[in-house]
Amino acid sequence: MKQDKNEYKQNKLSYDLKEQSLISPFDSTIPLYSPKIRLGILASGNGSNFEYIVKSIKNKQLNADISILIVNNPNCLAIKKAIKYKIPFVIINHRECSSRFEHDMLVMKKLEELSVELVVMAGWMRIVGEEIINGFKNRLINIHPSLLPSFKGVDAIQQAIDKRVTITGCTVHYVQKEVDSGSIIIQAAVPIKEQDSKETLKKRIQDMEHIILPLAISKVAKNIRTSLKDNK
Ligand code: GRF
């Protein structure tokens, strides 16, 4: 059938996309639980995710206390944020340890000493060993800047650009031995625009990270509180 050109141009997409969320699984209500969960945050870099966890607690979006921020790099900006928000922090410099195991043990000792219940790797640029993974089974989570299982490992944003995918994103997942491979808790999709540079794309991915990480913490904290009740 001959299609009228103007009519064709004026056609709008007939799907209603309003309900399609870029965050999945998406729930408009934040999981509720009590008492507060005691968090240990591990960071190596800028600490923007750490800062958003702090903000979520202040805004009453997250029922948590940060028992400690642990950094492995004495020059990382996360320290400045801890000072700004008066969050206790400790530097456990891996360069001063003779092995990965020794560093892991110092981290583990600090987390246990403070009775941390949930450990959040928020830009922790180190592989954690089995002792921490087993010691915090189902209580150790990581945020990664891609839609896992795509683009595991280092420089995930550049990997996505190099592969010319048109959608990437970020993932919060449980940590297991294989890097960036544990069960997925929550993901957010981020389109890659033609005019994107790595920096503009990184900014949009991080904006989503700052939303999904506190949400994932709430979800996992609720599971921890529920399983504690079940075990009583
Ligand atoms: C984030 O992009 C996270 O996905 C990755 O490291 C980055 C940390 O950023 N694991 P910041 O230090 O929280 O700003």
Whether the bond into 191 is cis, omega within 30 of 0: no
**Is residue 133, in this structure, part of any structural domain at all?**
yes
Number of domains in the chain: 1
CA atoms within 13 A on the CB side of 63: 15
Whether the bond into 214 is cis, omega within 30 of 0: no
Ligand 1 pocket: which of 209, 210, 212, 217 to mutate (most atoms within 8 A of CB): 209
- 10 Å Cβ neighbour count for 120? 29
**Is residue 22, in this structure, part of any structural domain at all?**
no
Looking at residue 68, what is its pLDDT? 98
Query: What atom in ligand 1 is closest to the CA of residue 50?
Result: 13
Looking at residue 5, what is its pLDDT? 57
**Is residue 81, in this structure, part of any structural domain at all?**
yes
**Is residue 95, in this structure, part of any structural domain at all?**
yes
Domain that holds residue 88: 31-145+172-187+212-230
* 100-137 residue pLDDT tens: 999 999 999 999 999 999 999 999 999 999 999 999 99
Share of the chain above pLDDT 70, in %: 89
The pocket around ligand 1, CB under 6 angstroms, is made up of 43, 45-50, 122-123, 143-145, 170, 206, 209
Distance CA 34, CA 56 (A): 16
Looking at residue 129, what is its pLDDT? 94
Task: Specify the CATH number for the domain of residue 41.
Answer: 3.40.50.170
Q: Which residues are catalytic?
A: 144
**Is residue 141, in this structure, part of any structural domain at all?**
yes
Looking at residue 149, what is its pLDDT? 98
Query: What atom in ligand 1 is closest to the CA of residue 49?
Result: 13
> Contact 184/171 with Cβ under 8 angstroms?
yes
Looking at residue 220, what is its pLDDT? 97
Name the pLDDT band for 27 (thresholds 50, 70, 90): confident
Distance CA 18, CA 220 (A): 28
Looking at residue 158, what is its pLDDT? 98
> Contact 36/57 with Cβ under 8 angstroms?
no
Looking at residue 29, what is its pLDDT? 84
Looking at residue 132, what is its pLDDT? 96
* Residue 15, pLDDT above cutoff 70: no
Distance CA 34, CA 209 (A): 24
pTM, 2 dp? 0.92
Average pLDDT, the chain: 92
* Residue 197, pLDDT above cutoff 60: yes
Q: What is the average per-residue pLDDT within 170-176?
A: 97
* Residue 2, pLDDT above cutoff 60: no
Measured in angstroms, how far is the CA atom of residue 134 from the centroid of ligand 1?
24
In degrees, rounded to 5, the angle at the alpha carbon of residue 136 between the alpha carbons of residues 32 and 131 is 170
Distance, C-alpha 206 to centroid of its chain: 10
Query: What atom in ligand 1 is closest to the CA of residue 78?
Result: 12
* Residue 174, pLDDT above cutoff 70: yes
Q: N- to C-terminal Cα distance for the chain?
A: 70
Distance CA 110, CA 206 (A): 28
Any idea which residue has 């989570």 for tokens? Answer: 141
